[in-house]
Structure 1
Amino acid sequence: MGIKLFVTDLDGTLLNNNNVVSDKNISAIKEAIAAGVIVTFATGRMYSSALKYAQQINIDVPIITYNGALIKSTSSKIYHEDFIEPDVVTELVNYCAPKGWYLLVASNDEVYFPDYTERAVNYEKTAGLKGFPVGWDNLSQKTENVGKMLFVTENFCQNKLILPSLEDSIIEEISHKFADKLNFVKSKQGLIEVIKPTVSKANALQILAKHFNIPIAEVMAIGDANNDLPMLHAAGKSVAMGNAADDIKAVCDYTVSSNEDDGVAEAIYTYILN
């Protein structure tokens, strides 16, 4: 029994720290595909931000975006969507505005900022896309097809944590108010992903496995961050990146090298094509 579906996270996993897919990772993916393995992504990124990497590798498969809220192929076929309710988007924006929490809204695969700050610039650079500053009042009206919202804190794009407990304190406060409406997940330093409670990479992985008629036992997932945990638990085999936190490594079957050292290629060659 071999692996038939390989699902990789992007940031901190397939991508190096310069947001590039290495030649070695591309070669490994193409060899896996040639061997009959379906290879796809599961990312918190917007579809438009993830699409370019699928096109670079030249794969036309359903890719999991917005942490599972949208599964859509590179040829634009939609397999699954589960967007945040419009009134909940407005409620969260209006709650955050007086607190000064910097919140982005991803609506119709465009990203909107309350204002254009250094955090917006850094997010554009990381995501490889251009956003739109619209003001808090207009932000609360960007409610159509919202795959996720995103808190960007002072810790984002810093070499060290300025306020170590900031993200946890935001999540603790806001989780009580929106407990049945939204989930809040730390994806990387300074970022808190906001999604529907019904959305996860795990649910999306199971949808894809069912679509391709592949048993979960023949699915492998690889990741590095907290938003990967559900997917890593759900997959038949799980791989942690070398740069992952210890609690991620603890739940995985295997650990490979870091995203700077082609850990994805190592996983493919060692555990799929060996």
Structure 2
Amino acid sequence: MDIRLIAIDLDGTLLNSELQITHHTIDVLNRVPSNVEVVICTGRTIAELPEELQYIPNIRYIITSNGAAVWNRQTKEKLSECALTSTEAITLMKGFQQFDVRMEVFMLGRILVEPYYYEHFEAYGGSQHTDFLKKTRTPKENVLQYVEELCEPVEKFNLFFKHEHERYTAIQQCIEAGYQVTTSFAHNVEVNAMCASKGRALQTLAEILGIHQQYVAAIGDQINDLSMLDYANYPIAMGNAVDEVKRVAVVETLTNREDGVAAAIEQYIIKGEKNEHLFF
């Protein structure tokens, strides 16, 4: 078999529009041969993983926060970490104060937000899944002060801007300062340490597992998936992927509303069909 490891994004990829993994997809993932590693590669923290993963025991490794951490799911051991230092994080947070922005701080497996975070959230391009947000975010009265007192590394910042010109300015400032900047949908900005990306974390995990790059596949839909798709020998785009992702992929599967991940795995891994574009 040509594929020994397949990395799968969550939002917009493995998850449908209701943020769920369908029963059909769970069944397909449980039929993946034992010599193929199925890896979750997400911008989420370890605390935000969907409950349905408990029904897919063969997923042993998880990459979180856009590659800031690589986890052994069974032992809960952190195999690799590339986070912003406390000093870097505090400097960035003070810089973000110049903008009209809603900010999420990913650290210690949690997402910290301030109490006003949910006010007029849709005006900042935020998610309509407010129940999920309230379940997975930890409110703090003053996040900057909390981060200063805690003095711990920060995995990622997720920022939502009300004004596009401020979003553009923030992106330019973070890039010029030497940070990794990406997005996972139209209105947000995600900031990591320069060493953190899904692609680098996937490479690290593949090397730990002794799996050569030529046997690695990846499936994604958004800008923050580009680095892992660039690393993978078999990059697969979701049918609902942005154009930038479709341009780097060698094949396109169905959308996340149509169990696109299941369709790709069933066709190229379980059945082992050789697509003239995917296998070369």
Partner of 1:237: 234
Partner of 1:175: 172
1:207 to 200, 204, 209: 204
Distance in 1 (alpha carbons) for counterparts of 2:110 and 2:128? 16
Partner of 1:10: 10
**1:147, distance to aligned residue in structure 2 (A):** 0.9
Letter in 1 for 2:116: Y
Partner of 2:185: 188
Give yes or no for contact 1:221–1:239 (8 Å, CA) kept in 2.
Answer: yes
Distance in 2 (alpha carbons) for counterparts of 1:177 and 1:41? 27
Distance in 2 (alpha carbons) for counterparts of 1:136 and 1:72? 26
Structure 1, gaps ≥5 residues long: 155-162
**1:121, distance to aligned residue in structure 2 (A):** 8.6
**1:88, distance to aligned residue in structure 2 (A):** 1.2
Distance in 2 (alpha carbons) for counterparts of 1:255 and 1:49? 27
Q: Does 1:63 align with 2:71?
A: no
Distance in 1 (alpha carbons) for counterparts of 2:144 and 2:269? 50
Letter in 1 for 2:71: K
Q: How does 1:1-274 map to 2 (within 5 A)?
A: 1-32=1-32, 34-50=33-49, 52-59=51-58, 61-74=60-73, 75-118=75-118, 119=121, 125-126=131-132, 128-135=135-142, 137-141=144-148, 143-154=151-162, 166=164, 169-176=166-173, 179-274=176-271
**1:51, distance to aligned residue in structure 2 (A):** 6.5
Q: The residue matched to 2:48 in structure 1 has which SS?
A: helix
**1:264, distance to aligned residue in structure 2 (A):** 0.3
Structure 2, gaps ≥5 residues long: 272-280
Distance in 2 (alpha carbons) for counterparts of 1:212 and 1:178? 32
Distance in 2 (alpha carbons) for counterparts of 1:53 and 1:183? 30
Change (3 A) 1:84 1:263: same
Q: The residue matched to 2:254 in structure 1 has which SS?
A: coil
CA deviation string 1:133-187 (max 9, x = no partner): 3225425525513111110234xxxxxxxx6xx2x75244443355244222111
Letter in 2 for 1:64: I
Distance in 1 (alpha carbons) for counterparts of 2:246 and 2:136? 31
Give yes or no for contact 1:19–1:126 (8 Å, CA) kept in 2.
Answer: no
Give yes or no for contact 1:232–1:252 (8 Å, CA) kept in 2.
Answer: yes
**1:132, distance to aligned residue in structure 2 (A):** 1.3
Change (3 A) 1:49 1:56: farther
Distance in 2 (alpha carbons) for counterparts of 1:123 and 1:69? 24
**1:94, distance to aligned residue in structure 2 (A):** 1.0
Distance in 1 (alpha carbons) for counterparts of 2:102 and 2:146? 11
**1:196, distance to aligned residue in structure 2 (A):** 0.7
Distance in 1 (alpha carbons) for counterparts of 2:244 and 2:171? 24
CA deviation string 1:63-83 (max 9, x = no partner): 000111100122311110111
- Name whichever of 106-115 and 223-232 sits farther off: 106-115
| Runs ≥4 residues deviating over 4 A | 120-124
Change (3 A) 1:216 1:67: same
TM-score (norm 2): 0.85
Aligned pair count? 262
**1:191, distance to aligned residue in structure 2 (A):** 2.2
